[in-house]
Structure 1
């Protein structure tokens, strides 16, 4: 079976699967061949589009930058990014392309939460020497073409590994741009995350968490921003909200008691915080939780 037939077969397989805290849906998974003069007009997607150059070269035009991609290069366009693509200097161009929709099952912190934030919030750039991605794509083509037992599971693993490789390479680039050493940043984030979890029932401030890891508030917030794409204050709020939801679901404590237990200044402040985080009051959440368990 030639590459064109393998590409058609791969693209016709429906891939929609969960990986822990994320739903992954592949919209297309195929080879794109172009010859001589060609152009893909300016467009955008509501999903992630991964481009891996198998041979040739092309020019990619975004609203804020233009770059050339060549054999072995890769770039990913997140949702909402306008881009245009035209021929380069070589007569033929072959690109491996995958378009995926990524959706978190819930917004609690997880590896998938971090992966999505990295893919969504890192600027579009060329990743050179993307041979691992080429190998995984070509492995998927072969599996689809052969159709041997277990091919679907192998391709799903390949898709997952491609997303992980992309997020790691983009994360390393982002850290380098910010002047942060990866191991140091990861260590700081891990310590801050653990401190927040251990003290979640207290009124934790950004200054308190930053002081725990001997960083300024600005430095600590930057570490969380590059890890999750959100602020340190938001991370604290998310963790306190998760704890509040857990208590409401699993105990019969009154809202005033929960407010006092979690160190809010008053039941009113607790209710206001909870509604901001969940679009419902604590009481409404308790009723909904009970109904869900019926």
Structure 2
């Protein structure tokens, strides 16, 4: 009976986290597009948004650890043990944390150079990079039906968006799309590797999800600040760290932070393949909304 209840609870967590991740990703893509559709003089620095979302995720993780442990003293002891005493385990998180920061900056760059539909089509390549890294890192052999399902999902998304690719583009638009293409392909590789590597860590130890997210945040915030220094130091010094921030930008920050927690749930209770399907469904959903909001593509009749 207890085993049955535990399996049922795990199933609900898996389904709930996948549904939340699908909705979160759809909203995030659309709001990222809206937030970047302003004049360059009023545009916020994407690198600062990455830092803010990582910092918010860090605070949320600390709060959830406090809720889990029940008291401050026990929480501090648990954090000290995981961060300081077991520092070798902590160092493992450095790799995916760095890659996620790189990926987030690449995605902001890509969405600034591509329309929402083209962005979604190209980002489907991460489904296959994820599958390849699952074979290499987890020794997980995908069944033929799984490969077929992945191919069918990607093909379906691409076919629904093909009309947008028939529109003529100027030379400047072509070069802009090319930069966006390179950025998003690199983001797909970093996403695939980081996701599978993190899944291996999540499922290889009994450390709580909140603690893992805390570890990611402890690396993510300073790495993100380094990215701000490299990419936007003069701009931030002149205009300020939060220049260009609007209510929509803050919603993007919040969605990105909660999305990180949702991905952690999916990796613990499901896997990266199911995460890929969730992302694929979010692409279809956001494409339909994008058609009505941005007129990014015109369907053929």
Q: Same fold (TM over 0.5)?
A: no
More helix per residue: 1 or 2? Answer: 2
**Greater RCO structure (CA 8 Å; 6+ sep):** 2
